[in-house]
Structure 1
């Protein structure tokens, strides 16, 4: 199994390190955070190949971290002949008798451990050409990869091959799995499992018989009669139509997978994606120690995604798995404790979550946990009415801008599961999280005390309506604005306070939407404004 990876100057990573879980690693992060790059780097370290081709054949200036390239070019223009950037990927393997031959300290950590290294470095054979190239630094725009070489080494400094590494990886990416029109892996899988040898012979004979009778069809006879008489400027031989029945063209090229009588290529994208991943799992996992899965949720509905995640979990039980995802469902089902939030230099793990919180989100996997993980600033609310009013508060305080426009995510936790989300926030000190909650007729200090163990963290704050006589959001809005203002905002004409409050409580979301859209000046309760300030 893999224990960790260290990367220098490869794609988005200038200097990066990540320790691996021996079982499951769920990689998440913003766009361009490097999720796919990690999978790519693992595959490179174990196979020496990039997208199925040897790396030396696909070397590109754009594989290098652009800051490293810019600094090198700036140094050349300043008259300093500094060495050009190198790409290094160090992949550490767990110590075992099988990996002992790869042990050494030839790695970025200088640790005496087993592992393999991909190094993209200037080839000394081209030193003269390189020196000539940099004599005109004003013309240097990109790394001259034509003067580079790729080294694939063990940590002891010796070269390796695919056979000398006692670990294999399979990358499964539905977007890049192409099932052909004939008998591809899907058909072969069915035939191998369900057909005996004599049944395959019968299938071959039946298919050949159908092709042989093609030319005997009355319409084909007439067409061929016409073609025989057609003049030809190319050949004096007769032109006719028939199906190739030579040995080279067998039934494999003509039989197409059908699902519910539809040819595979006409089946929905979700069904295709699921089929591709499951078939790739069946095909590749048996021979792999490490399974890399790229965004399995693409094109899938929740029920189908649930089946797929269950299949991945069951199939890969005894293997080390790496999954990239943008789906909270995938994350919750496979375990928040396996999450790795990627930054430019490392991965933050949530493996210190309380067991109860992990189980909670596995059972109730519809929660948007990934939104909290990825948001730098978020406000947690109890329901959709609170969500709408908080958005209006933010717009009033920030020139009409929605929270999302300022990088703030308003997350409806659907009830009182704040503490479950705050367990996550405690492990993400760089993410600012504010909680907005009702006092429910209690002193604000009493409500705040429930969260005292969380609010000790500098990135977490809790905001409660002060007056316990105004228990929930609607009374708090009424206290801050009065009947006339709210009647105008809601398009109502209630003549008593009780009637207005009764209406707002019975029509919470409708009332909140009316306030969100109203042209009236709305005074927001202080605790709502404090929550917006806390994350702004």
Structure 2
């Protein structure tokens, strides 16, 4: 069993999203793009595993701002009709913002039993769906309410009373079967549960007196049955009795028993100490975790986070009575070193392969959780929109990305300014040049991928459509005019610039740029010991440089900005891309 599709409408910055899912779903995107909102929205139709967490009513600010803005604009435009009670209820009702999360299931074998009541469609294939709906329960009451409020108001005053014009108290949530609009029975829904591990877990076991995590306290609480809770209470009673015996407190409190005042007992009854049994949660919250012979709170923040995640993920109980257990995990890489990221990623993969009743949704900024062989699991999130790679990219293109062993996928997709180059020489050169620009800040990412720029650009354009991100391609001519034309056709897009050397490769282009030849000649003779007789022409220097080892280019890059290379001029095709990325203007 798994959630195969989800449609989200009106939740926070997610105005309208339709997605397809696998058993593992990885959301990637920039900060504030909507990844956390997606994780939260997906869980709204389901039952939380944590104790007492069943309220699914939302807050006013969790309703999409665009929908609210449209609603208030409608009120302003129809203010006179509202005041005169001439606005039809049906027309008003269409403008009221609401939140909807519709999920579709793909059962496997006998799991169809859990969803057989939720049939939404039987056209090409049977579709099983449920929907979380958060809306105004009585639109007529809301219309009457705003009519009274606006009776003496002008259009300019509406923006100051928005919360009163859309009171959250009039909203209620429901979980229904979309096709028949009937409520989903709780007894059926209880078979679908979720756990959420948010990114805000830095306080875990940070205190030296308490467990430090409500999630872990609830986990321990859930593991205690009635019989175990009775044993805890009995143990507390035994502890208390031992405490009284050891401390001999009877003689302290019951002074009247041993006083010389004859009638003291007539005025004071015997004082006894009674056990004040705290709640189970209070007892559990005062447990301390240890790692080996040391308390966990003495360990580093990253290690505490790793232990916390491993324990919580491992706690997912999968049995034959449950249909699906969802886990949403936000930024699992937080505070982890690279080795522990890999360890956690391996553990997650192991957990998923053990059961077909678990589905995991992860949001991450780390490429360690992106298996390049499974890019179909990746969903791109940007500015409140989202789409899965498998939905917009051909399998052949995904296979192409998988074979780019040295490609940092996240840097490629999300760098605000990115340069793709053909080899390490160009990559080292551009990075060295940028490092010498002490008077300006830059956020340019340089990636070497050798060949295949057109496929990369097709994917990049789909992900970055409508953004202000820019990408530059720096390539060698290689005596291939048709390839040059094919690549430079992408210059039709305002956020792409492809440039090509006029010479065969980078080295001759560099040597023949302005007066670089004399400077480079002097540099290589003085610093590398090259024979002057072999460098009589620019062509001689170009050929020798091209045939040199990579170490020569590395040292050259390290020397940029010093002595002979202080006033060196970058080749025009590189200079154009750098200026474009910094200004957005194509020369």
Q: Could you state the TM-score of these two structures normalised by the residue count of structure 2?
A: 0.66
Deviation of the 1:24 alpha carbon: 1.9
2:299 maps to: 267
1:159 maps to: 183
Deviation of the 1:525 alpha carbon: 1.3
Contact 1:257–1:264 under 8 Å retained in 2? yes
Of the three residues 459, 482, 488, the one matched with 2:516 is 482
Deviations 1:343-392 (A, max 9, x none): 4344141463446546546xx5x742111122365211356763464368
- Distance (whole Å) between structure 1 residues aligned to residue 561 and residue 72 of structure 2: 52
When Rg is computed on C-alpha atoms for both structures, the one with the higher figure is 2
Deviation of the 1:491 alpha carbon: 13
- Distance (whole Å) between structure 2 residues aligned to residue 340 and residue 161 of structure 1: 31
Instruction: Show structure 1 runs of 5+ residues with no match.
Output: 106-110, 225-236
1:170 maps to: 195
Instruction: Show structure 2 runs of 5+ residues with no match.
Output: 83-91, 254-267, 465-469, 536-540
- Distance (whole Å) between structure 1 residues aligned to residue 362 and residue 187 of structure 2: 25
Deviation of the 1:86 alpha carbon: 1.8
1:513-528 to 2 correspondences below 5 Å: 513-515=558-560, 521-528=567-574
Let me know the Cα RMSD of the aligned residues.
5.0
- Distance (whole Å) between structure 2 residues aligned to residue 326 and residue 346 of structure 1: 16
- Distance (whole Å) between structure 2 residues aligned to residue 186 and residue 253 of structure 1: 6
1:78 maps to: 77
Q: Secondary structure at the match of 1:298?
A: coil
- Distance (whole Å) between structure 2 residues aligned to residue 342 and residue 265 of structure 1: 35
Contact 1:387–1:410 under 8 Å retained in 2? no
- Distance (whole Å) between structure 2 residues aligned to residue 92 and residue 517 of structure 1: 61
State the aligned residue count.
Answer: 480
Query: Structure 1 pair 395/280, CA: closer, same or farther in 2 (3 Å)?
Result: closer
- Distance (whole Å) between structure 2 residues aligned to residue 53 and residue 302 of structure 1: 37
Contact 2:175–2:184 under 8 Å retained in 1? yes
- Distance (whole Å) between structure 2 residues aligned to residue 24 and residue 454 of structure 1: 35
1:229 maps to: none
Deviations 1:384-441 (A, max 9, x none): 7634643687899x9975552xxxx42333xx5543x76454333244644334x5xx
Per mean C-alpha deviation after superposition, the further-off stretch among 265-274 and 508-517 is 508-517
- Distance (whole Å) between structure 1 residues aligned to residue 560 and residue 245 of structure 2: 73
2:26 maps to: 26
1:40 maps to: 40
Deviations 1:114-163 (A, max 9, x none): 22232222534454333323443513233421232323322121123543
1:146 maps to: 169
Say if 2:20 is the partner of 1:3. no
Contact 1:331–1:370 under 8 Å retained in 2? no
1:290 maps to: 326
Contact 2:432–2:558 under 8 Å retained in 1? no
Deviations 1:284-328 (A, max 9, x none): 252543332211111111111111011111102323321111111
Of the three residues 430, 443, 454, the one matched with 1:390 is 430
2:557 maps to: 512
Q: Could you state the TM-score of these two structures normalised by the residue count of structure 1?
A: 0.72
1:186-335 to 2 correspondences below 5 Å: 208=239, 212=243, 255-284=287-316, 286=318, 288-317=324-353, 318=356, 319-332=358-371, 335=374
